[in-house]
Structure 1
Amino acid sequence: MVFPKAVLFDLDGTLLDSAPDMVAAIDAMRAARGQPPMALADLRPHVSKGARAMVAAAFPQVDADERERWIPEFLDHYQRELGRHGGVFDGIEAMLAALEDAGCAWGIVTNKPEYLARQLVPLLGWEQRCAVLIGGDTLKARKPDPLPLLVAAQRIGVAPADCIYVGDDERDIIAARAAGMPSVVALWGYRLDEDDPIAWHGDVMIEDPDALRLPSAWPRTR
């Protein structure tokens, strides 16, 4: 067994446990409106669904159109909290090192705005290691559209069928399937109670990133 030629990762909930940064941003918004802090456990399941889902979870009583106007405020608060509270999941660094030792290129395809993702990468020490970074606003489409994955593979110089995508949300698996990439469901990530990762039909499901240090844990590419 050998590692794949290239691996692309989702960021929040897959490589990065960013929920503590997110809840700090939400709590700043709630404090400004005279509301108490939100429990991390209550926000955590919504993180991979994006900013709108998190603001909706924090302010369910507020009209959706009003919440939409609050998204820039949330992103401003989050930018100030970036990398201050969260960190990579246990096992991620060892797994990335194993990929690198095997000559496997890796990159990030996230729905997070690119400017925020690019600020995070140096904080994690990945600026010289990450082969490609595609954000949610880098291209004309974002996940679950396959375009970001296809462009990322092209920029690395690897055919989609020789690349694997790893993510913790159904959109990740849908995008991978449409791109013709084998997929790994990151079960250590963020999920709502009603999410059923078995129904996503990823190629493999992994409970712990440490398992991905072994070539045999990865789905086969062509």
Structure 2
Amino acid sequence: MDPRFPPAVLFDLDGTLLDSAPDFVATLALMAQRHGLPVASAQVVRPVVSKGSRAMLAVAFPQLQTEAREALVPEFLDTYQGLIGQHAQLFDGVAGMLDALDAAGCVWGIVTNKPEYLARDILPQHGWQDRCAVLVGGDTLAQKKPHPLPLLHAAAAIDMAPAQCVYVGDDQRDILAAQAAAMPSVGALWGYRLADDQPLQWGADCLHDTAAALSQPAGWPQVP
């Protein structure tokens, strides 16, 4: 059988579709200036972007106690919302990949651990508000990745069985969530990873170095 695009694709956001690290580096720099703390470099922040706000605060402000960093989470989110999209850009190949999926009639959506209100701010910046069929954020449901509930919820929202969808993400918890949802998965090696991450051991159905590899049907796991 000739390779074909899957009927539906669900994507992680930060580190998969969007290189949002520059926005987060700018956010943390503003916070450092406010609090009289050293400014963290992009090299320090970038590898942990997919781990979330607390992980970024931990590497940016290691001199603070855990409780003090926890208290900064609301300020981090507010500051980030104020400059969201000013420095971020799509990863190479993402625009062409999404165009290819649209042309093939593939339904696609986003399942992210980013708060839903912040993810929704991003959609119109890239003209996705009418293209993205479903958006599930980290606070949309009672659970977030690596729990399978967000993926199962998204599949149901687009009237697809989990096995008909493919999930694409750059973090191990993305692949764990897909496995728990019985959903084929793609590991996005172009995203954010720690030096000791071992994506070959995550168990993704396939791994790709660039989003452009997913512009062709042969790049995807074949689903029923």
Q: TM-score, normalised by structure 1?
A: 0.99
Specify the code of the residue in structure 1 equivalent to 2:157. R
Match of 1:197 among 187, 195, 199: 199
Match of 1:118 among 120, 126, 140: 120
Residue equivalent to 1:23:
25
Aligned with 1:91 (options 82, 90, 93): 93
AA partner of residue 76 (structure 1): D
Query: Hey, what's the Cα distance between the residues in 1 that align with 2:132 and 2:167?
Result: 14
CA contact (8 A) 2:4 2:222 kept: no
Tell me the distance in 1 between the aligned counterparts of 2:33 and 2:195.
27
CA–CA distance in structure 1, aligned partners of residues 100 and 176 of structure 2: 27
CA drift at 1:166: 0.1
Q: What runs of 5+ residues in structure 1 fail to find an aligned partner?
A: none
Task: Tell me the distance in 2 between the aligned counterparts of 1:93 and 1:156.
Answer: 22
Ranges in structure 2 where 5+ consecutive residues have no aligned partner: none
Superposition RMSD in Å: 0.7
Could you tell me how far 1:81 is from its partner in structure 2?
Answer: 1.3
Q: What's 1:207 paired with? A: 209
Confirm whether residue 49 of structure 1 aligns to residue 21 of structure 2: no
Q: Does 1:128 align with 2:127?
A: no
Distance 2:41 2:142 in 1: 35
Alpha-carbon deviations, 1:165-212, whole Å to 9, x = none? 000000000000000100000000000001111111111000000011
Using the TM superposition, give the Cα deviation of residue 39 of structure 1 relative to its aligned residue in structure 2, in angstroms: 1.2
Q: What's the offset of the Cα at 1:35?
A: 2.7
Normalising by structure 2, we get a TM-score of 0.98
Kindly provide the amino acid, as one letter, of the partner of residue 153 in structure 1. Answer: A
In the aligned structure 1, how far is the partner of 2:42 from the partner of 2:197? Answer: 19
SS in 2 for 1:166: strand
Partner residue in 2 for 1:163: 165
**CA shift for structure 1 position 95:** 0.2
Could you say which residue in structure 1 is the equivalent of 2:107? 105
Q: Find the partner of 2:189 among 187, 206, 210.
A: 187
Q: Give a deviation string over 1:3-58, Cα, whole Å, max 9, x none.
A: 00000000000000000000111001111122343211210001000000000010
Amino acid at match of 2:22: P
Find the residue that maps to 2:110 and give its secondary structure. Answer: strand
**8 Å CA contact retained: 2:39, 2:60:** no
The count of corresponding residues between Structure 1 and Structure 2 is 222
Partner Cα separation in structure 2 for residue 62 and residue 69 of structure 1? 11
Shift of 1:61: 1.5
* Cα separation, 2, equivalents of 1:133 and 1:193: 30
Determine which of 74, 77, 80 is the counterpart of 1:75: 77
Contact 2:37/2:61 (CA < 8 Å) preserved in 1?
Answer: no
| Distance across 1 between alignment mates of 2:127 and 2:153 | 24
- The one-letter code matched in structure 2 to 1:8 is L
